[in-house]
Structure 1
Amino acid sequence: MSWYCDVAPGHPFHGPYHDHEYGFPVTDDAVLFERLALEIFQAGLSWLIVLKKRPALAAAFDGFAIDRVVQYGEDDILRLMADSGIIRNRRKIEAIIENARRLQEIRHQHGSFAAWIAAHHPLSKEEWVRLFRRSFVFMGGEVVGEFLMSIGVLAGAHRDDCPVQERIRAACPAWLDPVRLETGN
């Protein structure tokens, strides 16, 4: 098995993401939406491409502010498709916009995207994939799994001997039991 921990150290893009974001618990809805969008944009591409385009994606999508993205229409899709700084895939762009709409409804029902995730935790990866496929669009197993690993909900972001893993365990909120992260139960 290849680990991100083996690739990332010292790399100008992978390193900071690995050391300070990947696998750490996230509760901010804009950050959660950004991570979900980045995983969608990554489908079929390398993570390095996504990390390099991340600042342009954030600017193009109004900082991934859900309430702004839900208002996007055809003119915005055309604007995004013309933006050479981002990943210009119409299906992915439309999925981000639709998922913002669905997130707005989830926030209306649960208070936040983070609360919705917490209300369903713990689930197996397969159960998470089924839930995300019912709740969002463009949700393959890899997109869902990587999203949940990136926000600390599923185990596997780091090896046990990775120095970042201990910092992640210390940062876990009470509902995100690190023992469950390790066992998957």
Structure 2
Amino acid sequence: MADPFTGPDGRPRCHWCAATPGYIAYHDREWGFPVADDRRLFEKLCLEGFQSGLNWLTILNKRENFRAAFANFDIDRIAAYTEADVERLLADAGIVRHRGKIQAVINNARRAQELVRSEGSLAAYVWSFEPDAQNLPPQGAATSAASIALSKDLKKRGWAFVGPTTVHAFLQAMGLINDHAEGCAFRAEAAEARAGFRRPAAHRG
């Protein structure tokens, strides 16, 4: 792996965030720290889907626009979207205007509702795929056994734009895998957050 990047404050960080100050803030405050909020998990799955074929900085720079366009990623509100909403979103220059990806978000919101009914929460379902210490992927891997399994199960449940690479990036970002590089000052912070994190438990309906 590449050597850590030293930020303007002198702290070493994962090399990928050297590209732009926007990446530094995202890396320091969000990436790799555990999340159990359904809305945030759903948002990230959607935005990772929009990233397909693009880079994350493009999506990160448009994130507030996406939130405004998609009702702050409220699952129930998006599940009720109609074809008129698809057309509205296709006319929104502030987001990525891709019909298939927009339709996937609406479809996935409906599938997320089903998961909440069966598993108690999206968080409980997602965290059930957290890899144990013996099955962690190599740092910097593009996929993992966990992402392959979660991707396969989501697709079986009817989700779209949730391939193994997309899902692996989601697992890294949402803290199910601590992929901060060895030598990154934030690896220990993410590990501490994970150690004190209460995993959501499923309560099936």
Q: TM class, shorter-chain normalised?
A: 0.7 to 0.9
Give the TM-score, by structure 1 length.
0.87
Contact 1:5–1:162, Cα closer than 8 Å, also in 2: yes
Q: Distance in 2 between matches of 1:127 and 1:6?
A: 28
Looking at structure 2, the residues matched to 62 and 167 of structure 1 have their Cα atoms a distance apart, in angstroms, of 31
Equivalent of residue 23 in structure 1, options 16, 32, 44: 32
Report whether the alignment pairs 1:148 with 2:171: yes
Structure 2 counterparts to residues 23-62 of structure 1, below 5 A: 23-62=32-71
Q: Percent identity?
A: 40
Query: 8 Å contact 2:66–2:94 — kept in the other structure?
Result: yes
Given candidates 16, 33, 48, the residue that maps to 1:7 is 16
Does the Cα contact within 8 Å between 2:36 and 2:199 map onto a contact in 1? no
| Map 1:103-118 → 2, pairs under 5 A | 103-118=112-127
- 1:77-112: CA deviations, max 9, x gaps? 000000000000000000111111000110111111
TM value normalised by structure 2: 0.79
The C-alpha deviation readout for 1:122-175, integer Å capped at 9, x for no partner, is: 37333223223223211212111101111111343x102111111111111254
| Equivalent position to 2:181, from 151, 159, 182 | 159
Q: Which letter does structure 2 place at the counterpart of 1:163? A: A
Does structure 1 residue 119 correspond to structure 2 residue 142? no
How many angstroms does 1:16 deviate by?
1.1
Report the alpha carbon displacement of residue 74 of structure 1 after superposing the two structures with TM: 0.3
Amino acid at match of 1:148: L
Runs (4+) off by over 6 Å:
none
1:24 Cα deviation from its structure 2 partner: 0.8
How many positions carry a matched residue from both structures?
A: 175
What residue in structure 1 maps to residue 102 of structure 2? 93
What is the RMSD computed on CA atoms of the aligned residues? 2.0
